[in-house]
Chains A and B, each alone.
Chain A
């Protein structure tokens, strides 16, 4: 933190000094480059950190610039109008971003669709500016309006300090615990949703904030240059921003800032002498970088120095959360009534009705294709089932998305290990706690409090000694255990486990089996387990539900199922009965 502050102070000092060193032309150009760099930084936050490739940040820059120019043009540049125009710039851009976010991000949206919408927004804004007649100046834009009475050098310093402020804030944010949540969104959005995070909401909030930053940059641009044109909001500028970020190095913050400064400054000097050749060279460099150096030019050059990469936070100390009282066993934890799922005419599940109470460990068995995983999906995502009702702890899940189901006390462990590849073990666990206490956007916590059950899983599999390891480097079994620990970190009262011990050693299976039984017996959790290993099922289950061809065929104790002729027929085939 102190190092960042020191660097920021040094940058501000350098900007103030250079205002008096450079000639007017350079000062003018750099003012613009500072503002473009601030917008490029927002593109990097969205694209490099959360994986949302956006061509639309130019629209917010343009909206901010036009908000200033229109206010100044109509009402002059008195201090009240300055404040009003700034508020208009931020408000209008924020509103536009909220609309864009609502269109782009919803449960089930795809990254490509979000990029498509980000293309539409600047196209619409430019066309509206074109059709604004004398009010917006149409294709020639607005010029000659009153601007706040500041010297060129003052605008330069304002733009420079704005860039330093935005970069510093961005740096603090991505190194904080909340910043890790952004990366989690990029790595695995579905897992985030099943950790109870409102992924669409988070993305929309981030888009609105970055739109506000871009609008302020546009506002300063309109004031300092005295000219605005529809191209400022255009999609060509939007793609240029992406090119600068790619060349500078996505996901590094400083890379895009310096990349933009360098490219924009060089462009202004070279575009006079070699206009088309320069753009040609830039295009070639862009393709080479995308194909061969996806991490960007500046990181490739400074890789050895490791100057630019925001450093990983220190490994936190594990602690236990205060124990919770076990939920009373007299309510129903899961209740399914006539649940069905069909794809067109193909019926995968039909007429599934059963319920389970706290403290029960119910195993769901059945041959491949019986519909076990489909049933898990229907229990955790309201939009999955075609008919019937599902209630979690007495709450009807209706058509609610996964994060709301998690809010009712549900936790789901997927069939294949589902963790955040680029985060460390500790960071994955911290993201799993984000629903309980949303992480600070300013700092990274020194300790990580987890419930006993999650700690037990970590100890049983040795993950407590690998907290700093990146999740993608873990073995398959360790990933499974990590995901289970993440689910338990939610402190759920109902846990769905899809083959939780696949890929684990016998030793680890015993440990986890022990932990699971303890969760049910002493902590009073209700566990629903899909499992193929019938010996494992026999050891730990309190009840077994058998699915066959989409129907519930048996619901009884372990002894009843083991001695059932029907189950033997299903597993061994009818001819051996």
Chain B
């Protein structure tokens, strides 16, 4: 029971970390970034490069963030900006970008599955239950990411401008806010977060050029049920992630893998706002 609860908590933390970048891009820019999965993969490979260079595994995390953010900045400038106002086309173009990044990674690193060491190994005793230290660390990481975002949005000038753009972009523009700049920063930050999430999840799984796709689908569905709210995303990650863990352990991992997408689609049909108030 305790181990199940810990699994639910850590799974929710991972889902939250993976989806935050997508959420912020969707909230500000009203477009769905289908290259998010590819940025996750990119971050994972950044972690791999760090470990291949013999650096500390911790060093992979900032490297992954920088790689994702730099790539996102380029993408925003040359692909996403011209498609502003054509949201369905933006989905397609970012999906195409995902293909390109995946193929470039394949050309550079090969198709095979590779492994990255964990910066924290072993287990820790939680109320008499031995549990992976790294999975617990991911809860902390999710809290840092979520808290950082909440601070950025709530307590900085950029956050104020961003919230203004989320609520009413035309009005914000009229008040002298540089909406283009806000979008650029948002997309770079969201992509950087995807990279960071990629580096964070790799010690739990393996690295291959298509690893981002299943994560993209889950993150996408979570964002759809959360609107543009971090709080709703947290709730959605806990509820749907929890359902995933329970169904995986009680029925089959394959059904568990479908839980989030199916439940989210049904939820949206019944309550279009999802978890958002």
Contact = CB atoms under 8 A, between A and B. Distances in A.
Interface of A: 53, 103, 106, 108-113, 115-117, 119-120, 123-124, 127, 130-131, 235-236, 239, 242-243, 246, 276-277, 279-280, 282-284, 286-287, 290-292, 294
B121 to A, nearest CB: 31
Given A53-B88, A280-B104, A291-B83, A286 B262 contact: no
A280 B107 CA distance: 10
B93 A127 contact: no
B261 A120 contact: yes
Contacts of B107: 276-277, 280
Given A115-B91, A276-B103, A127 B254 contact: yes
B249 to A, nearest CB: 16
Given A103-B266, A291-B79, A291-B82, 15 more contacts: A103-B265, A109-B272, A115-B91, A120-B221, A123-B258, A124-B261, A127-B254, A127-B258, A131-B255, A239-B95, A246-B92, A277-B103, A282-B99, A284-B100, A291-B83
Contacts of B92: 53, 242-243, 246, 286, 290
B83 to A, nearest CB: 6
Contact of A287 (B97, B103, B106): B97
B51 to A, nearest CB: 24
B100 A131 contact: no
A397 B97 CA distance: 49
Interface string B249-277: 00010110110011001101100100000
B37 to A, nearest CB: 11
Interface in B61-116: 79, 82-83, 86-89, 91-93, 95-97, 99-100, 103-104, 106-107
Contact of B258 (A119, A124, A282, A283): A124
Main secondary structure of the interface of B (DSSP, over half): helix
6 contacts: A53-B91, A280-B103, A287-B93, A287-B96, A287-B100, A290-B93
A294 B89 contact: yes
B79 A287 contact: yes
Main secondary structure of the interface of A (DSSP, over half): helix
Interface residues of B, number: 37
B268 A131 contact: no
B182 interface: no
B8 interface: no
Nearest to A103: B269
A130 B254 contact: yes
Contacts of B254: 127, 130-131
Contact of A112 (B86, B87, B217): B87
B148 to A, nearest CB: 28
Q: Which of B96, B97, B258 has the most CB of A within 10 A?
A: B96
Contacts of B261: 119-120, 123-124
A292 B255 CA distance: 41
Contacts of A123: 217, 258, 261
B228 to A, nearest CB: 13
Contact of A290 (B96, B224, B255): B96
B32 interface: yes
Contacts of A290: 83, 89, 92-93, 96
Given A53-B91, A127-B254, A113 B272 contact: yes
A108 B270 CA distance: 12
Q: Which of A119, A242, A246, A284 has the most CB of B within 10 A?
A: A119
